[in-house]
Amino acid sequence: MKNAAFVYSQEQQTYKFSSDHPFNQKRLDLTFDLLTKSDAINPEDIIAPRMATDEELLLIHEKDYIEAVKLAGKGELKTSIATNYGIGTDDTPMFANMHEAASLLVGGTLTAVDLVMQGKYLHACNLSGGLHHGFKGRASGFCIYNDSSIAIEYMRKNYNARVLYVDTDAHHGDGVQWAFYDNDDVCTLSIHETGRFLFPGTGNVNERGSGKGYGYSVNIPVDPFTEDESWLDAYRKSLREVAEFFKPDVIITQNGADSHFFDPLTHLCSTMEIYRQIPKLAHEIAHEFCGGKWIAVGGGGYDIWRVVPRAWSLVWLEMSDNQIGTGLIPEAWLAKWQKESPVQLSETWEDIPPVYPEIPRKKEITEKNFLTVEKALSHIRNEVAKKKAQLVEE
Amino acid sequence: MIVEQIMKQNIIKIKISTTIKEAIDLMDKNRIRHLPVVNQNDELIGIISDRDLRDAKPSIFDTEEHLEYLSNTVSEIMISDVITAHPLDFVEDVSSLFYEHHIGCLPIEEGGKFVGIISETDVLHTLVQLVGAHQPSSQIEVLVENVAGMLAEIAIIIKKRNVNIISVLVYPAKEIGYKVLVFRIQSMDPRGVISDIEKEGYKILWPNLPEMTK
């Protein structure tokens, strides 16, 4: 079995709303080039994505919605109808061949899934995926088809797997959560900026799932201006406890890179440090609980110059057990992209402080987040305590 | 929003002859905290709450004693001077009745008959829906002068961007003479709307903290 596969092709660039839209897949090229120039990617590790079939899209999405996306891609969908499907909006405008472009991103995630679930590779990543806001019958927040939801349903159906979905995007992973809200063999864990201020507005601690899925949705909404330490505390505690409680067969991580201070859409204050730690723990958990089965997808990330290439490269470096990713960024990469970048690129893998001015209410924010984590994990802790008590009685 | 839109109509009602034991069982089984008492014409003659029943039943320390209390009828403990509302009352208005009278539920009467009930929980839930977002949205807070037409002014700016407004709240600002308008707009990227509002000379309170300008 090979170690790690990198699902990637130039065609992933076709998912493009417009030239000034914040969701910009150029970040995939920037990441790929950074890895290439760091000698961190082997041509034989690169696997081209396949297209998802309509049948696969139907695992999650409704037929009329898929038809609407197809029509929109041909310029044949009326604006009045498009609005009902969440397309043609400021967030998710229509563009030519949008159905094909979105199906390719889904297909990329399914390619990664098959490589891992068929035992060809231990881990695989498709950084073009992670479109976690897509709903059954509606596009939302830059997402047309929800590749992660489709991949999870695909793994349940074809591989009979219990799936742990971990979402570290700054926005709540609402689409995936609602798709499996009443399901007890999919567990979703999302750490995000509180919906009180940030899109989509959901992801409160009390969203715990319903029916037999109760307890299998875990949400940790952190306060705006949360910094590394407090964020990582939430991540480490929750991922470990959730994995121990749920005992997954496979873990799929959504690696949105928009919690960084530089990200223009969110209000969190992380640095590159969390993007080093996120895949590290995910990797550890995958080996400890899932025999190594780990699929990673991308997600948000709107500072495509300073944040996303480094953050996503670190996902691959961790996955492929590569120790570089520290110290200086290859000069060839900086030389190539600095001309195009509107901002000064970072010359090191790490962020060198101070990246931002001191946060005035750090102590209160840290305390609030601590309490949020306690609340979010209370149900799991109670269940574990109950089980222990039962064992003692027996 | 009017009471009719949120009141519960499928209500468990009891008669004056119902015993305290029966009432306790009904509440436990249905996980409710109030039982309206009606006559055969469906006219409201009283109400009992879980607290009234707790007062009427023996203490948990008296497991075998005073069990005869439970066979008394609810007529002996029900409150007959009941505060009620009408289906066409505004939710906003009746909400203050809960606060003023320290009550947990409000029976609704129409044409002299009992037709439904709203509880504190229903009102709170409605309030969450009114202020919150059940559709994906981003929040923007704008400080405006307390003069007529400000809400319309800001709404026009948002309209020009063709962005849908999910909900609006208006509340007094700390500074006298100002108000805060809170919009939830259906967009993941509110930056365009925000810069339009700022260009028109308004102050954005969120998202924008002075020391955190990126």
The model's confidence at residue B197, banded by pLDDT at 50, 70 and 90, is very high
Nearest to A29 by CA among A243, A316, A308, A352: A308
CA gap A176, A299 in Å, rounded = 12
Q: Do B161 and A90 touch (CB under 8 A)?
A: yes
Distance CA A373, CA B13 (A): 42
- By the 10 Å C-beta count (0-12 exposed, 13-18 middle, 19+ buried), A321 is classed as exposed
**Interatomic CA distance for residues B18 and B16, integer angstroms:** 6
pTM assigned to the model:
0.86
Q: Which of B205, B6, B22, B19 is nearest to B106 (CA)?
A: B6
User: What mean pLDDT, rounded, does chain B reach?
Assistant: 90
Q: Quote the ipTM score.
A: 0.85
Instruction: Select the residue of B133, B162, B191 nearest A201 (Cβ to Cβ).
Output: B133
Distance, CA of A269 to CA of B193 (rounded, Å): 23
Distance separating alpha carbons of residues A273 and A259, to the nearest angstrom: 11
Asked if residues A274 and A289 have their Cβ atoms less than 8 Å apart, the reply is no
Per the CB < 8 A criterion, the answer to whether A337 and A304 are in contact is no
- The closest CB to that of B136, out of A140, A224, A261, belongs to A140
Chain B residues close to A89, C-beta within 8 Å: 164, 186-187
Burial category of B104 from C-beta neighbours within 10 Å (exposed 0-12, middle 13-18, buried 19 and up): middle
Which residues numbered 116-145 in B keep a CB inside 8 Å of some CB on A? 132-133, 135-139
Residue A65 one-letter amino acid: Y
Could you tell me how many residues make up chain A? 394
Which chain B residue lies closest to A355 (C-alpha atoms)? B214
Q: How confident is the model at residue B214 (pLDDT cuts 50, 70, 90)?
A: very low
- CB count in 10 Å sphere of residue A97: 15
- Tell which residue, A287, A120, A267, A64, has the closest CA to residue B140: A267
pLDDT tens per residue across span A105-148: 999 999 999 999 999 999 999 999 999 999 999 999 999 999 99
pLDDT at B210: 47
Distance CA B100, CA B109 (A): 20
- Residues 6 or more apart in contact with residue A218 via CB below 8 angstroms: A187, A188, A189, A190, A208, A238, A242, A376, A377, A380
Do the beta carbons of residue B144 and residue B154 sit within 8 Å?
yes
Taking an 8 Å cut-off on Cβ atoms, the answer to whether A199 and B211 are in contact is no
The predicted model gives A303-314 an average pLDDT of 98
Over residues B92-146, the pLDDT tens digits come to 788 888 988 999 999 999 999 999 999 998 888 887 777 665 688 999 999 999 9
Are B189 and A174 a contacting pair at CB < 8 A?
A: no
Structure tokens at A292: 């190594």
Contact A141 B184 (CB under 8 A): no
Give the nearest partner residue to B189 out of A22, A174, A200, using CB atoms.
A22
Which of A165-179, A225-239, B161-175 is the least confident region?
B161-175
Contact call for B133 and A360, based on CB within 8 A: no
Minimal-distance CA residue of chain B relative to A133:
B136
CA–CA min distance B151, chain A (Å): 20
Element (H, E) at B179: strand B178-185
Q: Are A193 and A170 in contact (CB under 8 A)?
A: yes
Q: What is the pLDDT of residue B2?
A: 86
Proportion of chain B above pLDDT 90, given as a percent: 68
Side-chain half-sphere CA neighbours of A161 within 13 A:
25
CA distance linking residue B34 with residue B79, whole number of Å:
11
Do you find a cis peptide bond into B107, omega within 30 degrees of 0?
no
CA distance A325 to chain B (A): 26
Calculate what percentage of chain A has a pLDDT beyond 70. 100
Q: Which residues 147-206 of B are in CB contact (within 8 Å) with A? A: 161-164, 184, 186-192, 206
Rounded-to-integer distance, Cα B204 and Cα B143, Å: 6
Distance of CA A78 to the CA centre of its chain: 32
**Are the CB atoms for B132 and A202 separated by under 8 Å?**
no
Cβ atoms of A121 and A1 within 8 Å: the answer is yes
Give the CA distances from residue B110 to residues A348, B34, B107, B177, in Å, rounded to whole numbers and listed in that order.
73, 19, 10, 42
Helix, strand, or coil (residue B110): strand
Round to whole Å and give the CA distance between B192 and A90: 10
Chain B nearest C-alpha distance from A171 (Å): 9
Q: CB under 8 Å to B22, separation ≥6 — which residues?
A: B14
Residue of A273, A275, A274, A209 whose CA lies nearest to A242: A209
Give contacts of B209 with chain A, Cβ < 8 Å: 225
